[in-house]
Amino acid sequence: MPTDLYLIRLSSHQGDSHARVLAHLRQLSDDDLALRFGLARVKDETLVSYVRGLNFDRDVVLALQDPSSNIAALAHAARYEVQLATGREARAEVSFSVVPAHRGCGLAQLLMRAIIEAAAEAGIDRLCAQCVSANRPMRTVFAHTGWSVEVDSGEVVAALTVRDHARASHVQTI
């Protein structure tokens, strides 16, 4: 990881978290946004709506940021509950993005490992993610961080049981 970046968990206590996430997403190209959100075209109002919907108290939102608090890489685990025959299970849908200037140095894998650790600490049992098969960066991250992956009709569905992959970690919440 570049030495000028540090890992934080974004929270509702930090008043500018929504604005910082939006600024990060606005640095991504149209192609990057299409891969991130699974849409052919992502309009700015879609980004604004997504950011407004972030729940920093329920979800796990991690960022790698520079000393000026600019987000270089972002991971979001959107928490939800499912009812199984054996009881309720806490799950989270995971997505991430890295700005172009910081790609190619392992930040996405670092963030995915941190999301796994933070999910364990938050009591999340299972992580899930979907992407188009053309999203090679996301598929590479899945492969290097232990996810089970299925490809069906151009869609990649990935899952990871948190307790099987989590270790002790320390993520700073600000």
Length of the chain as a residue count: 174
The predicted-structure confidence for 28-38, as pLDDT tens digits, reads as follows: 999 999 888 88
Residue 167 — very low, low, confident or very high, per pLDDT cuts 50/70/90? low
Structure token digits, residue 20? 């910082």
The tokens describing 105, both together, are: 């140095």
Structural domains in the chain, CATH included, are 6-173 (3.40.630.30)
Three-class SS state of 82: strand
Mean model confidence pLDDT for the chain: 89
